[in-house]
Amino acid sequence: MSKMIRLYDRWLRIGVGEDALSFHYRWLRHQCDQDRHPKTGERIVDSVDIPSEIFATGAALNDDDQMIVTWSDGRQSRYSMQWLKQHAYCVGPMAVEPPPSDWSKIVVPLGANLAHLVLEMVNRCGVAVVQGFKRQQSVEPDDTEALIEEFSKAGLEIVGTHFGRIEDLRTDNTTNQNTDQLGYTNAGVNLHTDQPFLDQPPRYQLLHSMRTADSGGESFLVDAFQAVEYLRCIDAEAYQLLTTTPVRFHRKQKAFESIVDAPILQITNGQPTQVRYSYFTHAPFRVPFEKMEAWYRAYDRFVDLVRNPSHQYRFLLQPGDFVFYDNHRMLHARTAFQGPRWVRGVYFNPR
């Protein structure tokens, strides 16, 4: 019977035929026979002595049907498949996979009905990438206006914000209001949703590349809905805290201020419907004293999931390329850059 081992961030899964056995790393390390007294066979290591962040760097089956696990601290452990089957506490495949990362699966080719095809992809995957949208040899700002018209015909309406109608995300910006924020610098901006400090954040965003930086400026996005479902599958307590505990989002600029209290994860009829996540607009919030550490543990668990590069779409937008995504579902980010990078941003809502 064929067997395959797959490593995750905090556990591994052993495929056995059409079935699967899943084990947390800490549990496996706690059961390691090498941590027993050689004469009495008694355990000599308590679970509290095992680092909570222990993880496997490798795992393989040998000819004796034993799984050999190599740990992050360099040690190795052996477990017979017979023993693993006897003590398995999770039998069957995981109901939900982590967020995907193959960005070639979200590319929509240029052609007729482009906006409709982009929206179909966004409805399925949360995001779409289109390469080389320009009507002349080089991309121009009017090409962004053409895209706005295309999406307007597809049933969307543009949403103006405190930045203006269109954001020119560039370090030498002279066209927008309220540019005293990270997007108008060359600093890296980690994963976030836009405008979580509004009662109704805009649903969609278009980011249209005008000019690529000399270095850096890579885009990356994560399907947060998939991360939420994955979190529910692997850590019910963290899921419950993040869906029920309001926190504060506060945007304060020289000429603009807005505050909203809401959970990180919004669930409607058992399904994720909106994610508010913006580390740079988090403000002091209150939860009962006995829940504060648990909330941070839950938050860290979610952030660890979405910041794992294997759960991210990563790509570099070339001039004319654009990404269109669901701002209620996707987290987006960019790396730091050098040089005159220019991206035009537009928000939309369904009409």
Q: Does domain 3-87 have CATH number 3.30.70.1450?
A: no
Tell me, what's the pLDDT at 94?
Answer: 65
Given 3-state DSSP classes, what are the helix, strand and coil percentages for the chain, each rounded to the nearest 5?
25, 35, 40
| Superfamily of structural domain 98-351 | Clavaminate synthase-like (3.60.130.10)
Return the domain boundaries, the chain: 3-87, 98-351
Residues 120-158: tens digit of each pLDDT: 999 999 999 999 998 888 899 999 999 999 999 999 999
Tell me, what's the pLDDT at 95?
Answer: 65
Tell me, what's the pLDDT at 1?
Answer: 43
pLDDT 10s digit of each residue in the chain, 351 long? 457 898 988 899 998 777 789 999 999 999 998 888 888 989 888 999 998 899 999 999 999 999 999 999 999 999 999 999 999 998 887 668 889 999 999 999 999 999 999 999 999 999 999 999 988 888 999 999 999 999 999 999 999 988 889 999 999 998 888 888 899 999 999 999 999 999 999 999 999 999 999 999 999 999 999 999 999 988 999 999 999 999 999 999 988 999 999 999 999 999 999 999 999 999 999 999 999 999 999 999 999 999 999 999 999 999 999 999 999 999 999 999 999 999 999 999 999
Tell me, what's the pLDDT at 191?
Answer: 98
